[in-house]
Chains A and B, each alone.
Chain A
Amino acid sequence: MNKPDEKKSRWTRFSAWVNGKSVIIPEEDLFPGGDLRPAPGKKCGREFCRSAEREGERLYSFLSGYTFAAVVVGVIVIGILMATVMALPRFGQPDNPTNNEVSQRYLEKGEEETGAPNAVSGMILNYRGFDTFGESCVLFLAVSCVFMLLLRDEKNTHPKDLAQIAREEAADDSSRDVILQQVSSMIIPFIFLFGIYTLLNGHLSPGGGFSGGSMLGGGLILYVAAYGSRKIQRFFNGKVYNIARVCGLMLYAILFGYYIFTGANGLPNHIPLSIGGLILPIDVAVGLVVACTMYGFYAMFTKGEL
């Protein structure tokens, strides 16, 4: 009896939707309590004008359902993983599948093929150096992202904030902490020395670009904390920072690109193995990148500028 009626109402709803006046299927029909955040444009429809209270209630019920689901998922994941690790090869046995010809070659031939007695360094910077290049790029990317977010610009800083930062800096400059300054003036040379030592000995002993670089970065951070940013800007401002960071990565890219090109084409390369081969220069490059990244994070999070 009311078939044409219904059809007509459907058609009106459809045309209303084409005209953007409402939605074709009200959201509750399909997903009761579904999405956390419907599109902003939807609020115009009559049925979407809810009071904030009801929104809150809906959110609450969604969240309690979500909590339950999350607990169930978590328990299932843990159960599966637990069963899996129990079925894995036993811990610490010499005949596990992992101790195969690959690790044997890294250990036995590593020194003559890469020039590094430290098999881990040899592996990450020479055999699998492309991965490590990607990894340095991850660091580079992360610090670029933090720049994008926190570098001061008209969108994320009010003049009020700037004034406050200036006040704080002035207060810091007028009364620097004497104990901190004295202690750091004694410690910082040793931190740098040890960082450089670790950096340059990455192919011989535990250490290398990542650990040495983070020590250097830590030294820089301590220096800024003790003496203020104005002092470090005399030798390490944004320009120098950018140059160091890009030079580090480009040095890695060029050296390793050359190595890949010659290696893949069966050409002889002219990298001497006696003084650490590729490992030493790449360690230096990685160290630069890591030190800059650590310092960049600190500078961005504290002041929003270099």
Chain B
Amino acid sequence: MRALLENRFAVTAVILFGIGLANMLLQKNLIKKIVGFNIMDSAVFLLLASRGFVEGRVAPIVAEGMADASLYINPIPSGLVLTGIVVSVSISAFSLALVQRIYHAYGTIELDELVMRVKKEAD
């Protein structure tokens, strides 16, 4: 229990990751799948950001004449999260555009119906 509390952010991140993964694998609606992917990515960002935090320290914007590393949190995870967010935005936009085109082509975004319609088209 103590261990759970001490690692609460990482545990939350794993739970969120699970929710996202389940959504991505199980949802039949393509947009819900994309949302699931976004949840999954956010979970990874939470995990990453929490690894950079150090108790009792402040954001890494170095004040005049106080360039002492023991005052600030670790800047690296924040930077990595920024990169990750940009990537996830790009991919969400791309996949949503794809879904829009698929809807135009087949008139549905439910995966099982889509598979049936693609089959019918191939026949």
Contacts and interface: CB of A to CB of B under 8 A. Distances in A.
A117 interface: yes
A63 B25 CA distance: 11
Given A107-B60, A117-B62, A142 B91 contact: yes
Contacts of B82: 120, 124, 210
Interface string B1-40: 0011011111101110110011001100000000000000
Contacts of A104: 69
Interface residues of B, number: 65
B123 A135 contact: no
B75 interface: yes
A126 to B, nearest CB: 11
Contacts of B51: 88, 96, 98
Contacts of A117: 61-64
A73 interface: yes
B86 to A, nearest CB: 5
A123 B76 contact: yes
Given A43-B122, A103-B69, A85 B6 contact: no
Interface string A41-82: 001000000001001100110010001001101100110011
Q: Tell me the interface secondary structure of chain A in the complex.
A: helix
Nearest to B78: A120
Contacts of B59: 206
Interface string A17-38: 0000000000000000000110
A301 B100 contact: yes
A118 B10 contact: no
B11 A99 contact: no
A100 to B, nearest CB: 9
A119 B115 contact: no
B55 to A, nearest CB: 4
A185 to B, nearest CB: 29
Interface string A77-96: 11001100110101111101
B72 A119 contact: yes
A150 B6 contact: no
Interface of B: 3-4, 6-11, 13-15, 17-18, 21-22, 25-26, 47, 50-55, 57, 59-64, 67-70, 72, 74-79, 82-83, 86-87, 89-91, 93-94, 96-98, 100-101, 104, 112, 115-116, 118-120, 122-123
24 contacts: A37-B119, A52-B116, A71-B22, A74-B21, A77-B18, A78-B18, A85-B7, A85-B11, A86-B11, A90-B7, A96-B54, A99-B74, A103-B69, A107-B72, A107-B75, A108-B67, A108-B69, A118-B61, A120-B82, A123-B75, A123-B76, A149-B101, A205-B61, A210-B82
The 6 closest A-B pairs by CB, nearest first: A142-B90, A85-B10, A119-B60, A70-B25, A40-B122, A92-B55
Given A59-B116, A98-B52, A107-B60, 14 more contacts: A77-B18, A78-B17, A86-B4, A91-B6, A103-B75, A106-B60, A119-B75, A123-B75, A135-B86, A145-B97, A146-B97, A150-B101, A293-B90, A301-B100
